[in-house]
């Protein structure tokens, strides 16, 4: 049995730890508590991701959903359901899930990480060093990017800063809203017990902010200038006001793994906070990691394939999300020449977020997949919109079917399938541009 050390007990670190336990590995998680009380708005698919990872106690921290109010491009709409996650309760739920699964948890601050004689060693503040066969870096955006093993600095989007304000207001129903400004945008939320949150996201390069001592007054003045914020929070007095400044720049690691270590979650790929799907993106890389690590430890002959799979999947998710964000920023046309909007409406490139379906463009290639807790290589159907490839639909491998459909009629190719499988395959083929 291999011992794996996970640095970070956020959703990504917890998901990896639970997945490794299911595969029979001895897992220890090292984490320190979040240094500020935060609130996050998440979509229904984030909750599905938590449920799929087995993080049920953390899932219980989600509030009842509310309709998110949006003021964007001069229009007011009520778009999408949003659930509010109280991070202190959520983080406690993650720890409870780890304890319930028998995962050891060490509360402490990591001072250094070293590799020596085939083992990973971690020095902790005020505690004895911890050693393991494998290390998972899951400490979020603030995880060190540069290292001796690194292949270069991370890719970064436009430098972005978020100023999170928290205070105690009057109790009321859960609610959230988003508003755009000439120099950025704000997310606001209120919990039923009256705790209020307002986060202003700005461009680092073009924004002139006051010194730290004047930031609270600056944020208060910005809120008072917003008709939407005044209506949202009401006229109640603000008590116990706190502010936390944090980077929200999109970051992608150029190297997400090597012998003895792997990066997951925001430590591998941190996205723009625009749509409230940061936890979902974090979980996406974490859910595949246990099989990748299992392969690296138990089947080293497949190490290159496993690392290729992890790196490519992380990069694919990052660039797709970045292009979706670019298109959403481009919808805001009130201030097209303002530095904030100009930088984000054209980053990372001009490539479409989704490409037109074209059956003639489908190719069959060998590529990595997850199978029974391992990374394996199979034939995949690769398309311009799905460069990572598609393995199966409704349990049916599609590569052999696509190869035959190049020169055989669909009725003949699908004849041996169950009726429900045939229906799903036909539907998938149509979505890929197949026209009999």
Using a pLDDT cut of 70, give the percent of the chain over it.
98
- Give Cα 148 distance to the centre of its chain: 26
- Report in angstroms the alpha-carbon separations of 309 from 31, 194, 288, 304, 380: 27, 45, 9, 9, 13
| pLDDT of amino acid 151 | 52
Average pLDDT over residues 3-21: 97
List the structure tokens of 6.
């996970």
Instruction: Give the residue carrying structure tokens 């925001």.
Output: 266
Contact criterion met (CB below 8 Å) for 264 and 289: yes
Grade residue 150 by pLDDT with cuts at 50, 70 and 90.
Answer: very low
Strands 239-247 and 392-393 come out as: unpaired
* CATH number of the structural domain 160-247: 3.30.9.100
| pLDDT of amino acid 148 | 46
Which tens digit of pLDDT belongs to each residue from 272-304? 888 667 888 889 889 999 999 999 999 999 999
Which tens digit of pLDDT belongs to each residue from 240-257? 999 999 999 999 999 999
Assign domain 3-62+83-149+250-344 to its CATH superfamily.
Answer: FAD/NAD(P)-binding domain (3.50.50.60)
Contact criterion met (CB below 8 Å) for 170 and 196: no
| pLDDT of amino acid 273 | 85
Non-local CB neighbours of 197 within 8 Å, separated by 6+ positions? 38, 39, 164, 165, 166, 187, 188, 189, 190
Whether the per-residue pLDDT at 149 is higher than 80: the answer is: no
Which tens digit of pLDDT belongs to each residue from 328-369? 999 999 999 999 999 999 999 999 999 999 999 999 999 999
Domain boundaries, the chain: 3-62+83-149+250-344, 160-247, 359-431
If one compares 115 and 101, the residue with the highest pLDDT of the two is 101
Contact criterion met (CB below 8 Å) for 265 and 11: yes
| pLDDT of amino acid 152 | 61
Which tens digit of pLDDT belongs to each residue from 49-92? 999 999 999 999 999 998 999 999 999 998 788 999 999 999 99
Q: Which helix (H) or strand (E) holds 135?
A: strand 134-137
Which tens digit of pLDDT belongs to each residue from 35-46? 888 899 998 989
């Amino acid at each position: 049995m291999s011992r794996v050390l996970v640095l970070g007990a956020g959703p990504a670190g917890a998901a990896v730890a639970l997945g490794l336990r299911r595969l029979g590995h001895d897992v220890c998680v090292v984490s320190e508590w979040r240094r500020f009380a935060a609130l996050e708005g998440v979509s229904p698919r984030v909750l599905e991701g938590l449920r799929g990872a087995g993080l049920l106690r953390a899932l219980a921290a989600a509030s009842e959903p509310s309709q998110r109010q949006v003021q964007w491009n001069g229009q007011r709409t009520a778009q999408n359901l949003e659930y509010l996650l109280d991070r202190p309760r959520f983080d406690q739920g993650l720890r409870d899930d780890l304890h319930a699964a028998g995962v050891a948890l060490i509360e402490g601050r990591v001072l250094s990480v070293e590799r020596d004689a085939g083992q990973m060693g971690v020095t902790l503040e005020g505690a004895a060093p911890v050693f393991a066969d494998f290390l998972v870096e899951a400490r979020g955006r603030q995880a060190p990017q540069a290292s001796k093993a690194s292949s270069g600095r991370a890719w970064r989007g436009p430098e972005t800063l978020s100023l999170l304000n928290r205070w105690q207001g009057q109790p009321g129903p859960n609610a959230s809203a988003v508003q755009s400004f000439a120099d950025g945008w704000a997310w606001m939320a209120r919990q039923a017990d009256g705790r209020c949150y307002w986060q202003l996201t700005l461009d680092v390069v073009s924004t002139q902010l006051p010194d730290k001592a004047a930031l609270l007054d600056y944020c208060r003045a910005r809120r008072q200038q917003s008709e939407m914020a005044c209506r949202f929070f009401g006229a109640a007095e603000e008590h116990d006001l706190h502010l936390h400044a944090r980077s929200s720049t999109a970051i992608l690691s150029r190297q997400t793994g090597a012998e003895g270590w792997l990066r997951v979650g925001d430590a591998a790929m941190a996205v723009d906070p625009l749509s409230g799907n940061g936890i979902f993106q974090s979980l996406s890389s974490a859910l595949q990691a246990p099989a990748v690590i299992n392969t690296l430890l138990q089947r080293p002959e497949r190490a290159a394939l496993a690392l290729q799979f992890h790196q490519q999947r992380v990069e694919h998710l990052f660039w797709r999300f970045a292009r979706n964000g670019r298109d959403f920023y481009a919808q805001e046309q009130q201030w097209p020449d303002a530095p904030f909007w100009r930088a984000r409406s054209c980053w990372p490139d001009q490539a479409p977020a989704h490409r037109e379906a074209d059956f003639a463009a489908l190719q069959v290639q060998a590529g990595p997949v997850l199978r029974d807790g391992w990374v394996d290589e199979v034939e995949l159907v690769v398309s311009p919109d799905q460069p990572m490839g598609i393995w199966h639909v409704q349990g049916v491998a599609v590569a052999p079917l696509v190869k035959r459909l190049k020169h055989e009629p669909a009725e003949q190719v699908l004849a041996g399938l169950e009726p429900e499988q045939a229906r799903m395959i036909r539907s998938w083929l149509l979505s890929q541009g197949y026209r009999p």
